[in-house]
Chains A and B, each alone.
Chain A
């Protein structure tokens, strides 16, 4: 059911970067990106921007999944994001999963974690605020 929505939950940017759905975990999508040239910064390491993009995408995906569950529709617009880089992203797949800390009527606050081998040892975390605007027409 929710799995069928995967292509919608991904932005053109996320698809272009190579981010895909890894699995659903308790109703929340876990997003993943393989390590390749498009995410590489310093040789054999993730670019901070690519890690940030994965975090943001997982945050939007978690919010979209929850809005779908509630039968709500909205255009999601970024307000801000703060990323903490905890460890270097090495040359293997990364994963990220968001958690909705507060879902309001107009905005949502999310925390997101990214990891590689062990979900309990995140390589980066983010806090995001997202505006939920009504769809035109």
Chain B
């Protein structure tokens, strides 16, 4: 329809093609040296009893698909939060949503161990944290940097409370810590199914509301006049951001900056309207995290948590965004 779309469809296909190629390349990489042709042939035989098939199907693929899904969930959450908070600096990790998920999971594990309520706890924690950040963003006169600072402080406080709780309960410490630092190495096919289901719902609800995101980014008053049911839509989208963040944290621990970087790249490539940039944010998040995870597990001195790689890339980008937003404010 609008002018950008003629170029947006081929670009979208190109982006998805690149993502597929990137994932394919990622399967070829790993600590066990396997010839590329052997990997490719194992891809065609998921039920083969060979060691190569086991490595490809039980170790590498779940990790790569998991990285793609977690990255997509974080990219989607980041895009939604940036629009709702009217803040291009928002990211589920930076504004405390991820830390809320971590605390919620910890509380669930300590209060009701053995019930497997950590993902539910993560969802409740993430949702409460996202509601807190969103009410801070609605205060008069709070600039985007202020809101991110408040969100970051929230994140630090929630993290401190989590550590405090864990210091009292060593049994929980083991399971929660394993889970937090889990990275993408421990992702199972069952988790991938959950992630995929939540991601599908998230993309569906997000795509349904993509123009509302444009309207809400103009402020609540203008969104109201454009015919948006502001209260309901905000709540649905905040819950969605909480949910996608929670499943990402539940599967892979605290990973920062994916939700910050992906929407920026998506808007740069597809235009600012969420009509096209929302899905691209999810795809971009997937691509970013698959890449970061492949780097994280291919370093010559051994594997590092993937969050280190995303922070090394996203951190400087974040600083650059802050400096740029300051310059824009003072003419």
A and B physically associate? no
Partner-B contacts on A (CB < 8 A): none
Partner-A contacts on B (CB < 8 A): none
